Structure 1
């Protein structure tokens, strides 16, 4: 199966018949498909058409780009599709992995599928037929003849997890059509909001009927480059430009009701959510943070319950598993280029404890940190440049939060031998000096509860 059909194949009538635009039509599959072994189907969503920002040479809906597609798992034959964005010119493709669930709708158990789009909506479908389980309306949208824009676009009933209009334009940008979604563009920049549910996966709680979305909220201005004929193999083939506004990108974590597509709660983070989520039956929601934190939230409210500071960006989705009747959560802390987070190579694993159960590290084995002038002096002469005066983090250095929960031996070992991006200082300081520094950094930034706190 090819996401962009060749002439004569099903869907080819959504591409120009008088050109070879389909040959460079895009439709990348960004993620591993989901599988329903009972139905014998696989499901995936697809990328945008090419060129990204110029629809002039590819008139039509451009199937099967920006779509959810179901195939026969054994033969690869097409079963059904749902296109989220017709003739996409905004890079509103669908890289977020599809999630499968079974849920009761008006007394009938349905096999469902959900996917969070870059449009800021969740698309909720019957995975047997591809029909919406929650309404999706085709509504007229603004037109730009030079872009060969689609006359209508799908609008899911319910709420968006990211606001889809703008109230104030940032400096240097002009507001057009209130920045409303699907506003077309050509020569003059048009500023729009981007929901940014990207590669980091969503999570579903099938018992509660909730999908949790990990996304970003940013603004970008679009223009078209009319010259698409000069592109050579190996060139970027975007057909225009998307310029991000120079304002802070924030993160959105949202809980959406799978029966109504209504937003149950949402939280705005100071940095975009770029890790993915995992939900547990015990009402916990886990997420990674770009600054290295690993966070547990109350899945019913989004309230933060616990955090652990790792030593690199946590930009991979957490995984929950059971071993010998005990539940664990594990996550990779390695950073990410697009998130701009610190690099590393650590895997962290935590046991989920029952109420009243003792922690994995007994508190009486970790002595209270002791301030010392030698450690303070050595820290200020060597460590402050990366980690900041108070351990708040600085130039390429992670914040030193919550280290009071670790033993001096543990911290001293990291200083002596290095870890991830941090070099070894075992040849720079003697053992006593390293222990003095370790004692000092354990006194820094005690605000974040760490390993010994559930």
Structure 2
């Protein structure tokens, strides 16, 4: 154990003027530095949110109710702080942290991996800490507070304690086991403080662990490994004992890898604590030793404590009980988010309840003291593969929150995007017939597995893409997803409604044993999501709102006694919803992606709501608008952003469909507008290159052509590759519109003319992994001078808050003779990173009248003379074209 008690990091205490959001302000700090313990396991928060879950039971519920249905229209920003601009400044953006609030001061991780303390009433920085001697890390999920200290993580496996009032570094340790053994990497999960102990979770190593440290000096108290030491015996609540290492198969020969001690089972999200019961609850992730996470052939058995929640004695770290949600996980479907507590009635009896689940979309309702299921769970029979040592059963809760099977919908231009859980064609043998219906073909690639599969009664005769369908070398698409369900987004429990609020994402994944750690999200599918509320007393879903963006990666909800649910979105919007119905009542655009849960608190008796708009790239990659802004709101808040509006500008468009792999777009002229099927490159004439099943085996994977051009899809034969042509039939199946489904023998080709702009994904029927995209664009935009005017020509945005902006703006577009409006109208603004869609369009001969909601323009146009541009598609005698026209308006704010 390395303990360094003296501070060596940078902790800038800001007692002089500091630069925030481009203005110099003087500090006037709220009182901080209180030594009170965090709230108990199920006590509602009020003035503070002292843990990232609100209380130790991760309920994310506040008893504050000044902001409610009656006052919501007065909710407006009070301040915004660009965290990275605070000294020591950086240009870093993005972070997954959840803030805490203690004594009127907000503490959270910065985009650069440090910690900052902000005055909750003004947003002014009290201090900011960084220590580049030990290194920083950008992936952080929150800090904890206790005994006048803030506990955080830093680079090179450090846990650090900071003075709560000054940010001074008090101690820094690198946790190891009792005998110096490696416990994994402490880098992601938030620290948790309770009753003199700091709990730290280790991930991304051979073994995951939970480590308990003494809060006073960081010294080691105990640790618990997610995958057991060979021969380690544990005791169940009934007194029976078991050797957990036996669930990883027999002990290996000397010198061989022992899967039980390199099993992964990492604990990469913080846990929850119940001081009254003396228990700390940790969730452990999937196994990933002995070959890969997708290959269970080398680790027969249930593989405890992977995909398991374990209740640990807070004094000793001893196992008190466990509940495994997935036996022998080969899908990376670990349920890891912090368990949520409730003291509520189940089956007519008041119980101490724990809600456990995440990626699978399941919710296990367990007794906190014993781990006993309090709602029915079926040990359901499963399809098995004898090569995988598949578990013959899996625990399935009676209540079904999310669909557990793929929807194989017809390819149809009138049904796009379609069901959120729809399957990409050709996976699992579901191939289009002549009408576009996806029909199972038993002679497709999946036939290779059949001799190894066993189907229980009632399971049908093939894999339909359901949860826990087995796989081997062939890709099998299933739902929910290693990147769906709730993944790491926290859920919430309301004392007011008694409901659990569960955010989710939809992202079906293809599994095969050589796939990357969590399989391959099917290229071209839509990545969406929403939030639902369910009643734990009967397991019924009360409401569901599929909001449209992924909500499984940090977008945890906050519920309040005011009858409201607050939650952020990847597109930068903060939403207020009715907690009884799921209706969206209020929204605010922050200007950058949100991947963190909001918090609420009071300062001097006034309620605030805050959210960190920094963003996380999962699942939308670099299309998200990363940021560094902490926003705080209150009733009648009067903060104004640079645009003169209270909101931030529109964020960049999200890449809603899973992108193709293999590099950027290739211009059609460079490859003769030709795509080679089932080849990873266009020149390699080798046996290994033929009939490739790689996801990049459409060459090029991303082809860009102009509207009206024709593309050739070629299954290359001997004319292309004389020595090693393709030997098998291959397809180009376009989805989801179903524009073409060409089956081609070696040497055959198919031509298709693309008459409209858009993205056209396609894959192969021989093996669905090779996937490409044709991007169809206008080769130029024709500018029409003087064709656009706005009515009124002066745009007045008035009102005390952004909520008061009302009315509409009309754009009149005069088209030349021979031009007919053909959709695609958008308004391009100076500040927004994406165009604005019209609320209404009326086209009459050469005149097009576009109506825009004035509130949509408010945050995307600056004060004063401003040029606005309308773009649209028009049809002429020689095809479809893109036109644009600009006009100047006077903006008054």
Q: How does 1:69-218 map to 2 (within 5 A)?
A: 69-159=310-400, 161-168=401-408, 169-173=423-427, 174-175=429-430, 176-194=462-480, 195-218=484-507
Q: How does 1:2-401 map to 2 (within 5 A)?
A: 2-10=225-233, 11-19=244-252, 20-50=258-288, 51-159=292-400, 161-168=401-408, 169-173=423-427, 174-175=429-430, 176-194=462-480, 195-225=484-514, 238=517, 241-273=519-551, 274=553, 275-340=555-620, 341-351=624-634, 353=635, 359-361=636-638, 363-364=799-800, 383=830, 386-388=833-835
CA, structure 1 residues 345+286, in 2 after alignment: closer, same or farther (shift >3 Å)? same
Q: CA deviation at 1:382?
A: 9.1
Paired residues of 1:221 and 1:245 also in contact (CA < 8 A): no
CA, structure 1 residues 283+18, in 2 after alignment: closer, same or farther (shift >3 Å)? same
Query: Could you tell me how far apart the structure 2 residues matched to 1:5 and 1:288 are?
Result: 38
Unaligned runs of at least 5 residues, structure 1: 227-235, 354-358, 372-379, 393-399, 416-435, 443-454
Equivalent in the alignment of 2:94? none
| TM-score, length basis structure 1 | 0.77
Query: Could you tell me how far apart the structure 1 residues matched to 2:311 and 2:890 are?
Result: 55
Equivalent in the alignment of 1:427? none
* Equivalent position SS for 1:81: strand
Paired residues of 2:828 and 2:835 also in contact (CA < 8 A): no
Query: Could you tell me how far apart the structure 1 residues matched to 2:577 and 2:613 are?
Result: 19
Q: CA deviation at 1:155?
A: 0.8
* Structure with higher strand content: 2
Query: Could you tell me how far apart the structure 1 residues matched to 2:592 and 2:532 are?
Result: 24
* Equivalent position SS for 2:260: helix
Q: Which shifted more, 142-151 or 105-114?
A: 105-114
Q: CA deviation at 1:241?
A: 4.0
* Equivalent position SS for 1:269: coil
* Equivalent position SS for 1:104: strand
Paired residues of 1:277 and 1:287 also in contact (CA < 8 A): yes
Query: Could you tell me how far apart the structure 2 residues matched to 1:365 and 1:189 are?
Result: 53
Query: Could you tell me how far apart the structure 2 residues matched to 1:382 and 1:259 are?
Result: 50
Paired residues of 2:829 and 2:835 also in contact (CA < 8 A): no
CA, structure 1 residues 365+15, in 2 after alignment: closer, same or farther (shift >3 Å)? closer
Equivalent in the alignment of 1:419? none
Query: Could you tell me how far apart the structure 1 residues matched to 2:373 and 2:523 are?
Result: 34
CA, structure 1 residues 365+208, in 2 after alignment: closer, same or farther (shift >3 Å)? closer
CA, structure 1 residues 58+383, in 2 after alignment: closer, same or farther (shift >3 Å)? same
* Equivalent position SS for 1:147: coil
Q: CA deviation at 1:401?
A: 8.6
CA, structure 1 residues 407+2, in 2 after alignment: closer, same or farther (shift >3 Å)? closer
CA, structure 1 residues 315+391, in 2 after alignment: closer, same or farther (shift >3 Å)? farther
Q: CA deviation at 1:346?
A: 0.6
Aligned residues: 387
CA, structure 1 residues 390+163, in 2 after alignment: closer, same or farther (shift >3 Å)? closer
Q: CA deviation at 1:187?
A: 1.6
Paired residues of 1:45 and 1:66 also in contact (CA < 8 A): yes
User: Larger radius of gyration, structure 1 or 2?
Assistant: 2
| TM-score, length basis structure 2 | 0.40
Q: CA deviation at 1:322?
A: 2.8
Q: CA deviation at 1:76?
A: 0.9
Query: Could you tell me how far apart the structure 2 residues matched to 1:381 and 1:106 are?
Result: 57
Q: CA RMSD in A?
A: 3.2
Q: CA deviation at 1:30?
A: 1.5
Unaligned runs of at least 5 residues, structure 2: 1-223, 234-243, 253-257, 409-422, 431-461, 639-797, 810-826, 840-852, 867-887
Q: Which shifted more, 143-152 or 104-113?
A: 104-113
Superposed CA offset, 1:264-296 (max 9, x none):
111112221141111111211111011100001
* Structure with higher helix content: 1
Paired residues of 2:227 and 2:264 also in contact (CA < 8 A): yes
Query: Could you tell me how far apart the structure 2 residues matched to 1:334 and 1:221 are?
Result: 30
Equivalent in the alignment of 1:431? none
